[in-house]
Amino acid sequence: MKDLRCGKSSRKSNETEVLAEVHLRGESISKINTGIGFFDHMLELMASHGGFEIHLTCKGDLDIDGHHTVEDCGIVLGKAFTEAIGRKEGITRYGTAFIPMDESLAFVSIDVSGRPYLSFQAPSMLPLVGGFDTQLLEEFLRAFSMHCGLTLHATVLYGKNSHHMIEAVFKALGRALRQSVALEGGKREIPSTKGIID
């Protein structure tokens, strides 16, 4: 059966205006424009390695900094993924990926649990990569996990190059998401002994 799962979400505030559409089975190239080139590239990598299609635009108050843009993109993407996943019937639920990027190694493990939680650990990074504030990696992961209902553990085990460390995290997030939302061989039950994931 063709996987037609998709979700849309939007958010408009005095700080940002974000529109997002997610297709869990990507059939064309993602189109992402947040105004922060490095962040766009990371989201494109996440989508590509996750097998997703993401269309996202954000107009944010970048004259202040990137915080509101990155956090609100995480919120809206989390909600769009939640809608795309649906009632969670037949999903694998868990996903884990180790991704190397040259000298860096990142680990991401996910439970589509309905119980949002983030554990994030990484070595010290340079303050900026391109126009991206490296502190915002954790802010994005937190916003995404909270609004997608994920238990999300992300760790950069080691690394020296800040670009490589962040890229490895986004690629690992895509791969772990791909595993966790995959449908298991025609099964349609909720993957929990409770009978619900909430």
What CATH number is attached to the domain comprising 85? 3.30.230.40
Mean of the per-residue pLDDT values for the chain? Answer: 93
Tokens of 23: 């297709």
Q: How many Cβ atoms sit within 10 Å of the Cβ of residue 104?
A: 23
Distances (CA, A) of 175 to 3, 99, 109, 144: 17, 9, 10, 15
Which pLDDT value is given to residue 26?
82
CA-closest candidate to residue 155, choices 106, 112, 189: 106
Look at residue 196 and tell me if it is in a domain.
no
Confidence band of 194 (pLDDT split at 50, 70, 90): low
Look at residue 190 and tell me if it is in a domain.
no
Question: For strand 151-158 and strand 117-121, is the pairing parallel, antiparallel, or unpaired?
Answer: parallel
Look at residue 198 and tell me if it is in a domain.
no
Residue 154's SS3 state is: strand
Weakest-pLDDT range from 50-54, 55-59, 72-76, 192-196:
192-196
pLDDT tens digits, residue range 112-146? 999 999 999 999 999 999 999 999 999 999 999 99
The answer, yes or no, to whether residue 189 has pLDDT greater than 80, is no
Q: Which residues form the domain of 65? A: 6-181
pLDDT tens digits, residue range 157-175? 999 999 999 999 999 999 9
Look at residue 112 and tell me if it is in a domain.
yes
Look at residue 138 and tell me if it is in a domain.
yes
Q: How many Cβ atoms sit within 10 Å of the Cβ of residue 167?
A: 23
Domain count, the chain: 1
Look at residue 27 and tell me if it is in a domain.
yes
In the block, residue with structure tokens 């700080």: 15
pTM of the model: 0.93
pLDDT tens digits, residue range 11-68? 999 999 999 999 998 888 999 999 999 999 999 999 999 999 999 999 999 999 999 9
Look at residue 187 and tell me if it is in a domain.
no
Q: Are 152 and 115 in contact (CB under 8 A)?
A: no
Alpha carbon distance 109, 99 (integer Å): 11
Confidence band of 185 (pLDDT split at 50, 70, 90): low
What mean pLDDT do residues 3-14 have? 92
